[in-house]
Amino acid sequence: MKYKIVVLSFLISFFTVSSFAQTKDEKAVAAAIEVLRIAMVDGNKQALESAVSDSLSYGHSSGHVQGKREFVDKIVSGQSDFVSITLTNQTISVAGNTAIVRHRLNAVTNDNNKPGTVELDILLVFQKQHGHWLLLARQAVKVVHDK
C-alpha cells in the first residue's frame, strides 16, 4: 500500500511539474519578451531595433498601427515613455518558427512628460528569423473590468 502511495505521489508531482515546463523555444521567446520589455522601459534604440522584425506591425488599443521605425522613434524620443512595465498571465505557444504570446501589461507611463498608467491585454506574434525570435506583430486591447 505504501508503495502505491509513493508511486502515485511521484506521478502527481511529475505531471504537475511537467505541465509548467517550457520547451527550449518557449524559454527563448520568454527571454526575447524580457529583452523587449527592458528596451521599452530604457528607451534603448539599438535594443529595440534588434528585438523587432523589419516587418513589424505594432497595434495600439486606440487602433493606431505603427511600423518598426515609428515604434522605435516614439519610444526613443519619449513620446511613448514607459517608466515601468509589468507582465502577468503570460502564455506562450510555439508552432514551428512562429510563437503566439498573450499577457496582461500594466505600465506606468510618462508620455510627453504626462504621467499616466495603462492596463492592456496584449497579443504578440514572434517569428524566428536567422536563429532569433523577433517581434513580428502586436495588438493591444484595453482591459474591461466588470462592475
pTM comes to: 0.84
- What's the rounded mean pLDDT across residues 100-124? 97
How confident is residue 146, by pLDDT bands cut at 50, 70 and 90? confident
* Strand order across the beta sheet in which 65-66 lies: 65-66, 52-59, 132-142, 114-129, 98-111, 82-95
pLDDT of residue 22: 86
Give the separation between CA 36 and CA 29, rounded to whole angstroms: 10
Query: Could you tell me if residue 3 is inside a domain?
Result: no
Phi-psi region of 96 (alpha: psi -120 to 50; beta: other; left: phi over 0): left
Domain count, the chain: 1
Note the pLDDT tens digit of each residue in 4-53: 454 444 444 444 444 456 899 999 999 999 999 999 999 999 999 999 99
Residue pair 89/103 in contact by the 8 Å Cβ criterion: yes
pLDDT of residue 145: 84
Query: Could you tell me if residue 5 is inside a domain?
Result: no
Query: Could you tell me if residue 16 is inside a domain?
Result: no
Would you say the C-alpha torsion 24, 94, 82, 107 has a positive or negative sign? negative
Asked if pLDDT for residue 121 goes beyond 60, the answer is yes
CATH of the domain at 110: 3.10.450.50
Domain that includes residue 85, residue range:
24-142
